[in-house]
Amino acid sequence: MQFKDFAIAEETGWSEDSRADAYIDLFAPVSDQLIPHLTSAVKVAPGKVVLDLCCGHGNAAAALSDAGATVIGLDFSAAMLARARQRVPSASFVEGDASHLPFEDDHFDAVVCNVGFGHLPDPDAVLSEIARVLRRGGMAAMTSWREPEVSPTFQIVFSAVKAHGDPSLAPPAPDFHLFSRRSLAKEALKAAGFSSPEFTDIDAEFHFADPGDFVDVFEHATVRAAMLIGAQTPAARAAIRDAMMAKVASDYNAGNGQWRVPFPATMATAVI
């Protein structure tokens, strides 16, 4: 496997109950903002069978199920799946590998994946599997966070790491922004057998009552960013934290004791 160390770190990190709970408390409020776009794109309706890939704690599965779809969620994290089963008893949840889906060909009317590809070591294999399990004419809708060049959130994080630490310390990993880099996304989708790709940029933002909450998101509610920050020296970690807090405090004060940091995303849709 090309990104073996990354894959191990992701699976280990998301097996932790504390990280799953931190994600739900700190990160999910912003990823939830993308879900209405996904459900609208795949025209979810009663009778449709939909796969929620990289389903996490079931936030997209809940919306799909509420709209009447028959929902199956898949994730590699047993910790997340335990929370999903409790949250969405009307859906079914399976622990598995997104690059080797345990489903028959032509099984689903639609597949959604809400910012899940950043956790997967082999995106091309996953796209091929999505294409295999979709019925002809079925749609895939997938979101990813926008690249650092246009994302204030990532600019804050990576500028602080670059200024006070070593950005090269995290293990090599696939492109976190696959679907926001449209030329690359089109190539990957075409190679997997998809057609009619479309892209929609989505405005989302973090809301915080304290600038320090922004840092807590990336230290406690992620794996990929937490690996990078955690690999730094103690002095560098402290400086990175201070720099991130200072930037949020100075540039993103929304008044009334609130801070808002934009975290834009892109949704890619394609038909098989």
What is the structure's pLDDT at 171?
A: 86
pTM recorded for the entire structure: 0.95
Residue 175 token pair: 């492109």
d(CA 236, CA 70): 48
**pLDDT digit string, tens, across residues 98-120:** 999 999 999 999 999 999 999 99
Q: Which residues of 197-206 are buried (b: 16+ CB within 10 A; e: fewer)?
A: beeeebebbb
Q: How far is CA 257 from the centre of its chain?
A: 28
Q: Where are the domains positioned within the chain?
A: 4-148+174-210+264-271
Is the distance from CB of 206 to CB of 33 less than 8 angstroms? no
Residue 140 in contact with residue 43, Cβ under 8 Å?
Answer: no
> In which residue ranges of the chain is pLDDT below 70?
1
Strand partners, 247: none
Distance CA 83, CA 8 (A): 22
> What is the CA angle 124-42-146, rounded to 5?
55
Instruction: Catalogue the E-assigned strands of 146-193.
Output: none
CA–CA dist 200, 249 (Å, integer): 30
Q: Out of 3.40.50.11720, 3.40.50.1820, 3.40.50.300, 3.40.50.150, which CATH number does the structure's domain 4-148+174-210+264-271 have?
A: 3.40.50.150
Cα torsion angle, 43, 46, 50, 54, sign: positive
φ/ψ of residue 128, rounded to 5: -65, -40
At 5-54, the pLDDT tens digits run: 999 999 999 999 999 999 999 999 999 999 999 999 999 999 999 999 99
Q: In Å, how far are 162, 173, 225, 250 from 168, measured between CA atoms?
A: 9, 11, 12, 28
Any idea what DSSP says for residue 3?
T
- Whole-number pLDDT of residue 1: 58
Pairing state between β 49-53 and 70-75: parallel
b/e burial code for range 157-175 (CB count within 10 A of at least 16 → b): beebbeebbeeeebbebbb
Q: What integer pLDDT is reported at residue 93 of this predicted model?
A: 98
